[in-house]
Structure 1
Amino acid sequence: MYNLDIFLTNTKSGKKEKFVPIDASNVRMYVCGPTVYSRPHIGNARAAVVFDTLYRVLKIKYGSVTYVRNLTDIDDKIIEASKVQGITVDELTRMVTKQYHDDILELGCLKPSIEPRARDHIDDMVNIIRLLISNGHAYIASDHVLFDVQSFDGYCDLSSRDIDEMVGGARVQVEDYKKYHADFVLWKPEEEQGLGFYSPWGYGRPGWHIECSAMSYKYLGLDFDIHGGGIDLLFPHHENERAQSCCAFPNSIFAKYWVHNGFLNIDGQKMSKSLNNIKVVEDLLNAGFDGSVIRYALLSAHYRKPLNFEDKLLEDAKKSLQKFEEAIALHDISESTDELDERALEVLFDDMNTPLLFSRMHKIASSTDRHSAQILFNIMKLLGFSKRRDNAIPKDVMDLFAEREFARKSKDWKKSDELRSILVDLGYEIRDSNDGTRIIKIL
Structure 2
Amino acid sequence: MEIGKVFANVGLYTAGVILSCGPSQVYGVIKGAIDLVKLVGLKISLSQLKQHEKALNKHAITQIKNEIEGKKTSLKADAVAMIPLIGAIFSWRVLAPPEKAWSLNALKGVEHAAAHMLNDFHSQIRAILYPLGNDAIANTERYEQARALTKQEIVSGQLPHAKLVEIPVAIRSSHLEALELTHPKTEGTDPPTVVLFHGNAMIGPEMLSIGHYYFSKGFNVLMPTMGGYPGSPGCKTSEATSYQDVEAIKSYLINKGVKDVGYHGLSIGGTLAFQAATAPTSNTEKLRTKFVVADQTLASARDVMATVVRNLGFGAVDRIAKGVALNAAPPSHKVAVGNGEYVYTDGCDNLKKAKILGEKKIPLFAIEADQDALMKNNANSAKDAAGKLISNCYGKEESGHLIRINGPHSSYFYQWDKDYSAFEKTMDEALSIRGIPPLH
Give the number of the structure whose residues are more often helix, by fraction.
Answer: 2
Q: TM-score, normalised by structure 2?
A: 0.26
Q: TM-score, normalised by structure 1?
A: 0.26
